[in-house]
Amino acid sequence: MLQTNNLSFNYSNGPSFSFPNFRLEKQEVLLVLGQSGKGKTTLLHLLAGLMEPNEGSVMIDSQPMTELNGRSRDSFRGKNIGIVFQQAQFIRSVTVMQNLQLARSLAGLPNNDPFALELLNELGIGDKANNRPSELSIGERQRTAIARALVTKPKIVLADEPTSALDDKNCEAVASLFERTVTGHGAALVIVTHDQRLKNRFQKSVSL
Amino acid sequence: MRMLQLAYANLKEHFLSTILSVMLLGIGVGMVSFIVTVSEQLNDRFNRDIRGIDMVVGAKGSPLQLILSAVYQIDNPTGNIPLAEVNKLKRHPLIKYSIPLSYGDSYQGFRIVGTDSLYLSHYKATFSEGEVWSNSMDVVLGSSSAEKLNLKMGSHFHGNHGFNEEGHAHEESHYNVVGILNPTGTVADRLILTSTESVWDIHNHDEAEHAHEGEHSHEVEEEAGEITALLVKFKSPMGIMQIPRMVNQKTSMQAALPAIEINRLYSLMGVGFTTLQIIGMVIMCIAALSVFISLLNSLKERKYELALMRSLGASPFKLFGLIVQESLLLCLAGYTLGIILGRVGIMLLSYFGEDQFQFSVSQTGVAQVEIWLLPLTLCIGLIAALIPAIRAYRSDISSVLRNE
């Protein structure tokens, strides 16, 4: 499903990173652990095709991302990759439901699929569908971000530091929530974090 | 969730700056459409009233005043001219027909003009009721005079000396309404028309009272009589070459050419209209600037949102389109507001202008200026959106997402 090969990236006038190779199958979870400055976010952006590596390649569902040009890479990302950023960000001017619908329409999927509401219900925030993102609590926002990442039925979900701001109890709960929902919808999950508490929670991990 | 819906939601989110841009655009568009419509209608009306009149003969004085008073009935007469000279002129072979006008009296602000039935046929006036005058003191009302004065067939009224209501009334004799005209869209609508004799009779009656003079024969009276002006239509363009010069040099009267005087008037008014139109355009440019600035500001604020949309699969071009759509929506709203403002302005002008300047503007259907203002406004929107849209297009999403 996901495979990297000799990925490396150099910032102009900045640090350069080389990343270990890894491989991930459907419904598997991979933990990428690393301290600040080890290139976690860089790796995430390379996996998402938001940046191009200087060397190496990223294969998603046997499609080499690095071979796609700008526009088709955008569209490929929209269809196949869901991203949950560290701080959940939304389009402020529209509702939670419209944020989900926007994600679907940008991925070229039909707008008004009941799947969006099913997801919100599954994540326990179905009643917030018509609220603005600014009216949600931090926890609700994270759930909404998960729902948005999954609403396009992606093959892979990338999560950036989903637990680092949480206490132990919530850390465990959120980690389970991610694992359960993402793999439950048939996607593979990559968690990029410095949170050592997750180290023993997942079998498969790489350290940077 | 379509891009257009999102554009609309974003505009609603930035309500105040949206309102500012829409209002500026609206005022600019409204001003331009108002000015253009008014000047077009003014031209149109002025041209309709002088159609077919090649020359106006009246007492010496300002030629423009003569045209304004004799043709448009909006200024004071320059004086009277002796009928003897008029009759001599009338026989000139190059004159196709001429229409005598005697004016100076009014009734409740509506001018009473003594003329002959040629005046009615010249303006193609037809009767909705009654018929042309047959006796002295019979009058025919123009359509809006009849309506505004609320006079009916068979009504009687006393005329006033002069054009305002304070003039002394001709109490001794009253006019009888014998006909009412259909609307012609010309100056005839606003007049009270009667025979030249009626005007003479009223004023001779006054003089007779003062002078205690008795009997003089009708012919003598007519030869000694005066009229205020004569509208002339030539048989051929040769008339313009010869007659005005002849009148001005060899008689005590002056000849004025409506076409020339009205062109002079236009060039005077034109300065005002052009100035107002430029102000309108400047306001539209300021509106464009306001659209530009508000888009740019909201872009800074939404840098992260736009990067987010890219991460959700939007192409750079889609973001470009989003910004352009926001701008076009703004401009469409401004255009709509402007058209409404322009039309309200015209309604107000015709409401107040009708009494004060005898000028009414009417707007039926879509004016041409309203049509060409639409692409113009949308162009402004495109230009204002260009730089912000290019910025959105070019934004480096990865660095935006990293520096959250």
CB contact under 8 A, A45 and B402: yes
Q: How far is CA B263 from CA B74, B270, B271, in A?
A: 17, 10, 13
CB contact under 8 A, B401 and A105: no
From chain A, pick out residues whose CB is under 8 angstroms from the CB of B397.
50
Candidates B5, B301, B312, B403: best to mutate against A (most CBs of A within 10 A) is B312
Helices (H) then strands (E): counts for chain A = 6, 10
Structure tokens belonging to residue B376: 């113009």
- Mapping DSSP to helix (H, G, I), strand (E, B) and coil, where does residue A68 land? coil
From chain A, pick out residues whose CB is under 8 angstroms from the CB of B12.
93
From chain B, pick out residues whose CB is under 8 angstroms from the CB of A79.
313
Give the gap in angstroms from C-alpha B7 to the nearest C-alpha of chain A: 9
Distance CA B314, CA B267 (A): 56
- Please provide the average confidence, as pLDDT, over all residues in chain B: 85
CB contact under 8 A, A93 and B12: yes
Percent share of chain B, pLDDT over 90: 30
Mean pLDDT of B213-217: 41
Tens of pLDDT, residue by residue over B86-99, are 888 888 899 999 99
CB contact under 8 A, A50 and B9: no
Say if B394 is an interface residue toward chain A (CB within 8 Å): no
Candidates B11, B305, B308, B395: best to mutate against A (most CBs of A within 10 A) is B308
CB contact under 8 A, A71 and B13: no
**Is residue B404 predicted with pLDDT exceeding 80?**
no
**Is residue A165 predicted with pLDDT exceeding 60?**
yes
CB contact under 8 A, A91 and B309: yes
Tens of pLDDT, residue by residue over B343-371, are 999 888 888 776 655 566 666 677 888 88
**Banded pLDDT at A102 (limits 50, 70, 90):** very high
pLDDT of residue B208: 54
SS3 string, chain B, reads CCHHHHHHHHHHHCHHHHHHHHHHHHHHHHHHHHHHHHHHHHHHHHHHHHCCCCEEEEECCCHHHHHHHHCCCCCCCCCCEEHHHHHHHHCCCCEEEEEEEEEEEEECCEEEEEECHHHHHHCCCCEEEECCCCCCCEEEECHHHHHHHCCCCCCEECCEECCCCCCCECCCCCEEEEEEECCCCCHHHHCEEEEHHHHHHHHHHHHHHHHCCCCCCHHHHHHHCEECEEEEEECCCHHHHHHHHHHHHHCCEEEECHHHHHHHHHHHHHHHHHHHHHHHHHHHHHHHHHHHHHHHHHHHHCHHHHHHHHHCCCCHHHHHHHHHHHHHHHHHHHHHHHHHHHHHHHHHHHHHHHHHHCCCCCCCCCCHHHHHHHHHHHHHHHHHHHHHHHHHHHCCHHHHHHCC
Tens of pLDDT, residue by residue over A116-145, are 999 899 888 999 999 999 999 988 998 899
Tens of pLDDT, residue by residue over B256-284, are 999 888 888 888 888 888 888 898 889 88
Burial class (CB within 10 angstroms; exposed 0-12, middle 13-18, buried 19+) of A13 = exposed
A110 phi-psi bin (left φ>0, alpha ψ -120 to 50, beta other): beta
Distance CA A179, CA A202 (A): 9
Count of A-B CB contacts under 8 Å: 84
Q: Let me know: does A192 contact A161? Beta carbons within 8 Å.
A: yes
Nearest by CB: B313 against A45, A75, A92: A75
Mean pLDDT of B173-178: 87
- Mapping DSSP to helix (H, G, I), strand (E, B) and coil, where does residue B358 land? coil
Give the gap in angstroms from C-alpha A162 to the nearest C-alpha of chain B: 15
Of the candidates B71, B109, B107, B80, the one whose C-alpha atom is nearest the C-alpha of residue B196 is: B80
Mean pLDDT of B17-32: 91
Give the gap in angstroms from C-alpha A16 to the nearest C-alpha of chain B: 16
Q: B230 - beta bridge partners?
A: B57, B100
Write the ipTM.
Answer: 0.90
From chain B, pick out residues whose CB is under 8 angstroms from the CB of A103.
312-313
Structure tokens belonging to residue B312: 């959700």
Mean pLDDT of B182-211: 79
Of the candidates B339, B357, B387, B394, the one whose C-alpha atom is nearest the C-alpha of residue B34 is: B339
Q: How far is CA B162 from CA B106, B135, B183, in A?
A: 6, 23, 25
Say if A121 is an interface residue toward chain B (CB within 8 Å): no
Percent share of chain B, pLDDT over 70: 90
Q: Which domains does chain A have, with CATH numbers?
A: 2-207 (3.40.50.300)
Say if B210 is an interface residue toward chain A (CB within 8 Å): no
Tens of pLDDT, residue by residue over A167-208, are 888 888 888 888 888 888 889 999 999 888 888 888 888 888
CB contact under 8 A, B1 and A94: yes
Nearest by CB: B13 against A83, A92, A108: A92
Nearest-Cα residue of chain A relative to residue B402? A41
CB contact under 8 A, B312 and A86: no
Say if B74 is an interface residue toward chain A (CB within 8 Å): no
CB contact under 8 A, B308 and A102: no
**Statement: the pTM of the whole predicted model exceeds 0.95:** no
pLDDT of residue B42: 81
Mean pLDDT of A96-105: 92
From chain B, pick out residues whose CB is under 8 angstroms from the CB of A148.
312
CB contact under 8 A, B1 and A101: yes
Tens of pLDDT, residue by residue over B111-133, are 999 998 899 999 999 999 889 98
SS3 string, B324-370, reads HHHHHHHHHHHHHHHHHHHHHHHHHHHHHHHHHHCCCCCCCCCCHHH
Tens of pLDDT, residue by residue over A23-58, are 888 889 999 998 888 888 889 999 998 888 888 889
Q: Please report the residues numbered 16 through 75 in chain A whose beta carbons come closer than 8 angstroms to any beta carbon of chain B.
A: 41, 45, 48, 50-51, 70-71, 74-75
